[in-house]
Structure 1
């Protein structure tokens, strides 16, 4: 483990890894959300209906659900350096596809594929956990997540201006294409400038590939239960695209997709059993055990925190434009105030966790999150715009601090499974996003905010089931030697 001190503005050692990683994350989020601030222009250029616009928003986050789980597994096996680089390079392709799209179907396919780039977040969680000690991990992960998350805000207040600078009805195409070029270029920068671990450190890999390892029969059952919402969310998306929704898919196509989801789920259950046979024979050493309920609690919390952020970032520019009669550029800049808080809030949540404990910090921040959304639900055209902005920023502080606190705990559960745990928890953020955006498409905006607030209250009560991480994580290296990794 690197022993250099936590010097934020240094660009060497572990700080170089953190800075390059948040930059990679920043670019993935800028690409992922490059369409949201330009939707009104895109709609006018292509001739999209309001229903099609909302469908694009849902498609944008759908594929990220399985992608985060898959990328978590691949990261644990092959290392974050290679995986992050490939993800940045490959995902520039659907970005260019979207920039060149001329029909709703082409845009929808590109947006669906672009959901894969949202899995990049998981990769950085693993590499930061390899480079920073436990006492600094919350702050480091918070800076990585917060500064990277700011990519959505950067897209909101820069891409409309870029589109206007190019001028004409196709200015938005150049703005989106530019983000694709950034992603492609940074793939090479990342690959040639990082290593998976500090020199001399071991990179612990899962003992078995294909599914998340658990260490007891009860945890095996809970893992299967926690898989259900991810598949249910994909079924919900299928329904949204059916004749009962936007009529993008035929009834026969919907039935085929649902049957495929059932088949994939059954294969997933079988694979999970194969990976975890040892829990039924009682041959797992006590020192290797961990509690999966820790993961389940963090999943629920990320459903409300990051899930709501994804949904709100996607709809907030339109909300401000309609509520306060603002232009495209103005609404984008005002809405960016929500994501702007990431620069301070997410690192703040990680720092609070490092200093005051993971569980107590999560309790306080989740309670604040619920109250924040209840407050945002009261915003209407009678409010002064500056007051509305302050209310949104106050809410976003608790949302993003909560995200930082969640991922201050994730790497302290089981080191060799960090990518997979981060992948599942991250996927729950997207489950929340699809759920909330679906709610947004069928209810009033005020009810939408109330639903998020209620989900936060549920998350608050689940925190009481969590145990404060303490002691050491036991891992076995490739030589069969037991290594103890501090979580304090």
Structure 2
């Protein structure tokens, strides 16, 4: 454990846990994105319209925001071993539902439920944080996130070929069902192959489940305020699927139903505020020792950093192929297939850049690294706003991949810091930070529907600049964090 190097060819100790866990994340992303590369075949079989296709795509992310919060609470309470295994097993059910669907309504329900498996990312953050020391946690979390995230690309590469292998118009069903079967089988493999902590280590749990603990009254208000965008995004998604806001989608929700859903969302927010106050009230009524304090601003700033990093990645990956086609089709005869391949260059770099971002954070400091990456993505989006049909394709691809390096490395840098805030709440912190990534994706894509791609890139440039300023107020993790054992003794966990 003293070495800065990781022997990734080993399959014992913490390296085994890392490999088993990134594979669980990889499979969860294959399942979560198994519909995208097969959407044309699905649409042909079930005679889906363009609005119905777009509705299926947006339903895929609708549940992921609350799911990441819920999964964060569950992983802190029950441990990553049980939580990940259960999620993979349960996630296979809507996968099989989707594979056997005979109507748009059945597809929509299955896809909505499938969003829950997209929260699996949160679980591995806690698992990897338990098994790796602070000096290695950045690169370990980067490998976990970068390699696991490649599951979406792997689905795009392999599932169409698998569907062709099964043959016929129904080949997509067997292809998707296979991913569900793999998730189900791996849930058992994972359960019997890992443990929550190294032997002799304590798995620290929150005192109460349901909300994050804070250590000052001002942090309590800050925490409540940072929950508002999560619920606002759910309302935004509801509006998009309603009769009044769904110009590009099916009117899946009549206005009356949408109103009730909006009311339900904000009733849940009020209940969440009650839980936050109820859980924190006893602690805040008496002085808290400095040893046990942490600043919620650390979580809030990482929320914003992941919103621009992962949120912009989700948005750009979704729009880039069409942007390339519309920009260069007439001037440089680019085809839709070529545009798709070029657009994929933005996400492909994630495989290397995210671990690199974590490694640089371990080596040169987490605040400095995150600042550099966000500054780089801000500059990248600014330059991308000037792309037009006269630019050489090679230059555009080089610019796109350069920007992607900073974006993916920024994601790695964010989660190089998440496990170093408060150990017993790592799952909840990761859940909130991860949810903000989805918030960013939804908000940026909504903005894109109203503006030109050039303005879209400028908006993300401006948001990145604002987040860069916020990052300057984050504290570099150093020294130790304190956690209390069941017998009342205090354990000091090294942060640097």
TM-score, structure 1 as length reference:
0.94
2:287 corresponds to 1:283: yes
- Worse-matched range after superposition: 329-338 or 388-397: 329-338
Residue deviations 1:52-76 (CA, integer Å, cap 9, x gap)? 3333222211211111111011001
Distance 1:202 1:469, change over 3 A: same
Q: Specify the alignment match of 1:131 in structure 2.
A: 131
Total equivalences in the alignment? 488
Contact 2:233–2:442 (8 Å) recurs in 1? yes
Q: Distance in 2 between matches of 1:20 and 1:196?
A: 12
- Worse-matched range after superposition: 304-313 or 340-349: 304-313
Q: Distance in 1 between matches of 2:447 and 2:282?
A: 41
Q: Distance in 1 between matches of 2:317 and 2:33?
A: 9
Q: 1:480 Cα shift?
A: 0.8
Q: 1:221 Cα shift?
A: 0.4
Q: Specify the alignment match of 1:61 in structure 2.
A: 61
Match of 2:355 among 329, 344, 347: 347
Q: Distance in 2 between matches of 1:238 and 1:375?
A: 34
Q: Distance in 2 between matches of 1:418 and 1:337?
A: 32
Q: Distance in 1 between matches of 2:493 and 2:122?
A: 21
Q: Distance in 2 between matches of 1:79 and 1:36?
A: 31
Q: Distance in 1 between matches of 2:458 and 2:42?
A: 30
2:193 corresponds to 1:193: yes
Q: Distance in 2 between matches of 1:8 and 1:412?
A: 23
Distance 1:125 1:366, change over 3 A: same
Structure 1 residues not aligned, in runs of 5+? none
Contact 1:311–1:434 (8 Å) recurs in 2? yes
Q: Specify the alignment match of 1:104 in structure 2.
A: 104
Q: Specify the alignment match of 1:446 in structure 2.
A: 454
2:310 corresponds to 1:306: yes
What pairs up with 1:53-202 in 2 under 5 angstroms? Answer: 53-202=53-202
Q: Distance in 2 between matches of 1:172 and 1:317?
A: 23
Residue deviations 1:192-222 (CA, integer Å, cap 9, x gap)? 1000000111111101111100000010000
Contact 2:244–2:255 (8 Å) recurs in 1? no
Match of 2:271 among 267, 274, 279: 267
Q: 1:8 Cα shift?
A: 1.6
Q: Distance in 1 between matches of 2:180 and 2:133?
A: 34
Contact 1:2–1:14 (8 Å) recurs in 2? no
Contact 1:34–1:156 (8 Å) recurs in 2? yes
Q: 1:279 Cα shift?
A: 4.6
Residue deviations 1:108-131 (CA, integer Å, cap 9, x gap)? 222211111111001000010111
Secondary structure at 1:276 match in 2: helix
Contact 1:33–1:152 (8 Å) recurs in 2? yes
Contact 2:4–2:135 (8 Å) recurs in 1? no
Match of 1:365 among 367, 370, 373: 373
Q: Specify the alignment match of 1:215 in structure 2.
A: 215
Distance 1:454 1:205, change over 3 A: same
Distance 1:376 1:187, change over 3 A: farther
Q: 1:170 Cα shift?
A: 2.9
Q: Distance in 2 between matches of 1:391 and 1:69?
A: 35
Contact 1:278–1:284 (8 Å) recurs in 2? no
Contact 1:313–1:339 (8 Å) recurs in 2? yes
Q: 1:382 Cα shift?
A: 4.3
TM-score, structure 2 as length reference:
0.93
Q: What do you get for the CA RMSD once the two structures are aligned? A: 2.1
Contact 1:2–1:132 (8 Å) recurs in 2? no
2:480 corresponds to 1:476: no
